[in-house]
Amino acid sequence: MTLGGTRQQKAGLIGTAVLLLIWGAAAAAVGREVLVPGPLRVLQEVGRLLQDPRTPGLVAGTVVRWLSAFLLAGLLGITTGSLGYRHSWFADGIRPLVILIRAIPVIAIILIALVWLPLSRVGVLVGLLVAYPLIHQGVLDGLRSIDPALLEMSRIFRVSLPRAIALIYLPGSLPLVLSTLTAAVGMSWKAVIAAEVLSQPARAIGTALQTAKLYIDTPQVFAWTVIAVSLAALVDGLLLLIDRRLYLRQNRPPTETHSDNSSQETARLPAVTPVAVQVEQLAFSYDTTVVFDALDLDIQPGEITVIFGPSGCGKTTLLRLIAGTLAPAQGHIHRSDHQRPATSFVFQEPRLLPWATIRRNLEPACEHLPRRIRRQGMHAMLQQVRVALPDSYPEQLSGGMQQRINLARGFLHPAGLICLDEPFANQDGATRTELLQLTLSLHRSCRPTMLWITHDPQEAMTVADRIVLLSTPGTTGTRILADYRLTGAPPAQREVVRQAIANRSES
């Protein structure tokens, strides 16, 4: 057990003890059991009720009503919350109804339900209407809290909807949803019992409470209250246990996977056909800001083309246009794999799922491969990028190790075009050099076409077959200033190029 968990338990026990002392002191001060029975007297009454053969039926009746209401509210809330996340018009349209349901007093709902429904169903409707707005809003807020960068990553790697739900949407929204469910459990449980007090169904805790009240049996009223609170606390504890298990799983010490150097194997990267890309008269704008206007660019298959230019000139936008995550306003982007276009990406930040292990973080890249090939490829790739902690979580790794996973994921995806958006900008010099050499080694293994953005002249000269130099953005957008081919270029020409891009990076 963690130190934090032990402290929380101690604090909870101390708080309970203080409440019992206050309760006992109040009972002693009043001195009349009919008004405030003491804790021991109530405990005796709880014991008597637990031995009563009618008690299980009363408890079961209330639990069934609450469970029916909560499951219906959960199903409805998850459905409308998810639809609201996918379609803003739906969220705006249903918002007045959700606000109305939330604002109606519980007693008003009970009185209306008494007119509409059989007595045994009143609690179900009341619990449903109390829990639904909370669950709807919790699901909506939980889904909206997911990092958009992770969703873009899943779209680029063409993650199927079922796997995206399992890998991203469900775990990403779970913290907010769990806190909402905890609130909904308590609110709906109280509402169901309150409805039972007024509707008086045959088997119900609320009916037993009302009967005890009619006979002025205050100890029994307190005893049934203790039983009701204990049942609600049990469900609340189960939700807390789920939350704690998720936290502990992500914070357990990483387990290193040892292997002999002799047994390490070169990653069997998926066979790909390098993609040729032709950009014709490309135009794109953000609101009133023109990024490109009539841009032309040909990218040869199998080459590493570096896009170099000042900040804000549209380098990342160009990558996203070619990758298909943005649509051009005018012009065309022709790809040689137009029948089944596939693009992989190595991002500037790792974009790893914080709730998933390293092994699971690689799955989006190779979901469509056969299972055996996928597992072999992930294992070999992790060895090649020298990550020995496949079952650890991203926050347990350094920034350089996380970037290795980002790189491995990019090359595992069976795509003939890989876009690299300043992948090593945040690394120190030694790590950057190591990752550069690792990337070039992976490129030699499968020879995909690579589009590489960088601000570092030395990095550009190290990796590029060709360097495309972009201008500073102007009123007519960014244009191509120069196009340098380095493959086979003599040292003197390479030095001219190096000076040109170095001067550009300093301007």
CATH number of the domain to which 397 belongs: 3.40.50.300
| 356 lies in the same domain as 438 | yes
pLDDT at 400: 87
| 294 lies in the same domain as 197 | no
pLDDT at 262: 37
Q: What is the pLDDT of residues 418-465, one digit of tens each?
A: 999 998 887 888 888 888 988 998 888 888 999 999 988 889 998 999
Query: Which one of 53-62, 111-120, 137-146, 479-488 scores highest in mean pLDDT?
Result: 137-146
| 184 lies in the same domain as 295 | no
Decide if 418 contacts 410 (C-beta within 8 A).
yes
DSSP character at residue 348: S
Q: What's the pTM?
A: 0.81
What is the C-alpha separation between 195 and 120, in angstroms, rounded?
A: 10
| 211 lies in the same domain as 69 | yes
Question: Is residue 6 predicted with pLDDT exceeding 70?
Answer: no
Q: What is the pLDDT of residues 128-152, one digit of tens each?
A: 999 999 999 999 999 999 999 999 9
On whether residue 267 sits in a domain, the answer given is: no
Q: Mean of the pLDDT values across residues 363-379?
A: 83
Confidence of residue 246 (pLDDT cuts 50, 70, 90): low
pLDDT at 506: 59
On whether residue 10 sits in a domain, the answer given is: no
**Which residues lie closer than 8 Å to 164 by C-beta, 6 or more apart?**
154
Confidence of residue 264 (pLDDT cuts 50, 70, 90): very low
What is the amino acid identity at position 373?
Answer: I
Q: What angle do CA 479, 485, 487 make, to 5 degrees?
A: 155
The residue whose two tokens read 């495309």 is 468
| 247 lies in the same domain as 282 | no
Confidence of residue 252 (pLDDT cuts 50, 70, 90): low
Best CA proximity match to 291, nearest among 471, 476, 421? 476
Burial 87-108 (b: 16+ CB within 10 A, else e): eeeebeebeeebeeeeeeebee
Q: Mean of the pLDDT values across residues 286-308?
A: 90
What is the amino acid identity at position 320?
Answer: R
Question: Is residue 208 predicted with pLDDT exceeding 70?
Answer: yes
User: Which residue, 202, 236, 251, sits at the end of a domain?
Assistant: 251
Burial 303-325 (b: 16+ CB within 10 A, else e): bbbbbbbeeebbbbbbbbbbbee
Best CA proximity match to 66, nearest among 190, 180, 182? 190
On whether residue 416 sits in a domain, the answer given is: yes
**Which residues lie closer than 8 Å to 96 by C-beta, 6 or more apart?**
none
pLDDT at 134: 95
When comparing pLDDT for 131 and 381, which is higher? 131
Q: What residues pair up with 345 in beta bridges, in sequence order? A: 419
On whether residue 169 sits in a domain, the answer given is: yes
When comparing pLDDT for 249 and 357, which is higher? 357
| 317 lies in the same domain as 243 | no
What is the number of alpha carbons within 13 Å of residue 146 lying toward its C-beta?
29
| 214 lies in the same domain as 307 | no
| CB atoms closer than 10 angstroms to residue 441 | 13
What is the C-alpha separation between 116 and 124, in angstroms, rounded?
A: 12
What is the C-alpha separation between 98 and 132, in angstroms, rounded?
A: 8
Question: Is residue 287 predicted with pLDDT exceeding 70?
Answer: yes
**Average pLDDT of the chain?**
85
On whether residue 257 sits in a domain, the answer given is: no
Best CA proximity match to 502, nearest among 438, 459, 450, 445? 459
On whether residue 460 sits in a domain, the answer given is: yes
When comparing pLDDT for 464 and 215, which is higher? 464
pLDDT at 91: 94
Query: Which one of 10-19, 51-60, 257-266 scores highest in mean pLDDT?
Result: 51-60
On whether residue 421 sits in a domain, the answer given is: yes
Nearest-Å Rg of the Cα atoms of the chain is 32
The residue whose two tokens read 């009349």 is 32
Angle between helix 429-446 and helix 399-412 axes, rounded to 10 deg: 10
| CB atoms closer than 10 angstroms to residue 466 | 16
On whether residue 6 sits in a domain, the answer given is: no
Confidence of residue 378 (pLDDT cuts 50, 70, 90): confident
- Boundaries of domain holding 47: 16-251
Poorest-pLDDT segment among 7-11, 411-415, 469-473:
7-11
pLDDT at 391: 82
Task: Report the CATH number at residue 140.
Answer: 1.10.3720.10
The residue whose two tokens read 């049934």 is 224
Q: What is the pLDDT of residues 43-98, one digit of tens each?
A: 888 888 888 899 889 999 999 999 999 999 999 999 999 999 999 999 999 999 99
Confidence of residue 235 (pLDDT cuts 50, 70, 90): confident
| Overall domain count for the chain | 2
Q: Which helix (H) or strand (E) holds 482?
A: strand 480-485
DSSP character at residue 165: I
| 27 lies in the same domain as 151 | yes
| 221 lies in the same domain as 73 | yes
What is the amino acid identity at position 462?
Answer: T
User: Across 309-360, where does the E strand assignment appear?
Assistant: 330-335, 343-346
pLDDT at 377: 83
| 406 lies in the same domain as 467 | yes
| 297 lies in the same domain as 247 | no
Question: Is residue 367 predicted with pLDDT exceeding 60?
Answer: yes
Poorest-pLDDT segment among 198-212, 256-270, 307-321:
256-270
Best CA proximity match to 186, nearest among 134, 137, 139, 142? 134
- Say if residue 17 is exposed, middle or buried (CB neighbours under 10 Å; 0-12, 13-18, 19+): exposed
For 89-140, the DSSP string reads HHHHHHHHHHHHHHHS-HHHHHHHHHHHS-HHHHHHHHHHHHHHHHHHHHHH
Question: Is residue 165 predicted with pLDDT exceeding 70?
Answer: yes
pLDDT at 259: 42
Q: What angle do CA 248, 254, 256 make, to 5 degrees?
A: 155
| 130 lies in the same domain as 42 | yes
User: Which residue, 209, 236, 251, sits at the end of a domain?
Assistant: 251
The residue whose two tokens read 């290193």 is 256
477: left (phi over 0), alpha (psi -120 to 50) or beta: left
pLDDT at 257: 46
